[in-house]
Amino acid sequence: MTMQVLQAIEVSRHFDVSRPFLQRALSREGRRILRAVDGISFDIAAGTTLSLVGESGCGKSTVARLAVGLYTPTDGEIRFEGQPLSSARAQPALRRKMNMIFQDPYASLNPRWRVADIVAEPIRAFNILSGTKTINDRVGQLLTQVGLSAADGEKYPHEFSGGQRQRISIARALSSEPEFLVCDEPTSALDVSVQAQILNLMRDLQQKLGLTYLFISHNLAVVRHMSDRLGVMYLGRIVEEGPGEDIFRTPRHPYTRLLLDAIPDISAVGRSRTPVGGEVPSPISPPAGCTFHPRCGLANERCKVEKPPQTKVGNVLVACHAVAEGRS
């Protein structure tokens, strides 16, 4: 049986975005709670990629930070290799097995450090190697592995392009010899041609090193290239989850269909498309029932009052009353 590297069990993360107490007292208003993540569950098997997609504000990046312990869940539990994440992070041997590649390669690297020091920091922090020459040799190997040269270690981040900086970020993430990487939109700030290079690099590294990815993106074309499993998020919830190709071939949730219909397709020139209409509701005061119902053409009265449970359809889990009732 394949080991589950990461398990999320009914995980929620809420943020208190209330105004200061005195202002609330004068205006007689209560607290304002933003429900960034609202009871999601998923598993990631060793050596595979789970991708989470959705519009901006759906909670993808919050999930990424929850997965590596930068945020703690308000409710629910995250387990890493069978242990609660908080316990795993308290053990250096397990903490070094998880790392993160951030979205912005311009902001995630210290501009005052040379590249060699940036990449070597996790090696020194976890006492993986000792001795200046040994560490420098390892840094050179990591830079070469991501398509740079060992000599680039003497440069500063501002001397590189965006794609090269992201390669440096990947080298730094790999320097602690992790098994699990959270990739928070690692190519969204890059040109399309550079995106392809970085994605191919990440796929090659996964195959060579046996890495497990949680891949966050709003770009479905990117996700199809990377995913073994796919989770579609809407307003803090996963509305459809299953094998990536199954969802791309036969999307079931109305929201998934609208997202896929928005992917540019040169073979579909002249075909009418249905755009994703309306605005994402506020996560501070989400709609009752199915949160997608104000934008859904299949919604009925039940959708407006009852939160849909996840229903298994083939290999896919779908949270939609219309699918469960055969109205889709």
- 68 burial type by CB count under 10 A (0-12 exposed, 13-18 middle, 19+ buried): buried
Question: pLDDT, tens digit, for every residue of 212-245?
Answer: 999 998 888 788 888 999 999 999 999 999 999 9
Q: How far is CA 304 from CA 7, 286, 308, in A?
A: 30, 11, 10
Cα–Cα distance, 246 to 229 (Å, whole number)? 9
Strand ranges in 103-234 using DSSP code E only, listed in sequence order: 180-184, 212-216, 229-234
Q: Say which DSSP state 12 is in.
A: E
Cα–Cα distance, 319 to 289 (Å, whole number)? 11
Pick the CATH number of 4-97+178-324 from 3.40.50.300, 3.40.50.1970, 3.40.50.2000, 3.40.630.30: 3.40.50.300
Amino acid at 77: E
Cα–Cα distance, 227 to 225 (Å, whole number)? 6
Strand ranges in 235-284 using DSSP code E only, listed in sequence order: 237-243
Question: pLDDT, tens digit, for every residue of 98-131?
Answer: 999 988 888 889 999 999 999 999 999 999 999 9
Residues of the chain short of pLDDT 70, as ranges, are 1-2, 264-278
Domain boundaries, the chain: 4-97+178-324, 113-177
> Could you tell me which residues come within 8 angstroms of residue 183 by beta carbon, excluding any fewer than 6 positions away?
100, 101, 202, 213, 214, 215, 216
Query: Which residue from 189, 139, 130, 131 is spatially nearest to 165, judged by alpha carbons?
Result: 189
Q: Which residue has the tokens 């996964």?
A: 206
Query: Which residue from 46, 47, 44, 48 is spatially nearest to 67, judged by alpha carbons?
Result: 44
Res 270: pLDDT: 58
Q: Which residue has the tokens 């009852």?
A: 306
Quote the mean pLDDT of the chain. 90
CA 104 to chain centre: 14
Cα–Cα distance, 215 to 226 (Å, whole number)? 8
Res 132: pLDDT: 92
CA 62, 63, 64, 67 torsion: positive or negative?
Answer: positive
Cα–Cα distance, 189 to 105 (Å, whole number)? 8
Query: Which residue from 207, 317, 208, 186 is spatially nearest to 256, judged by alpha carbons?
Result: 317
Q: Taking the model in full, what pTM does it have?
A: 0.89
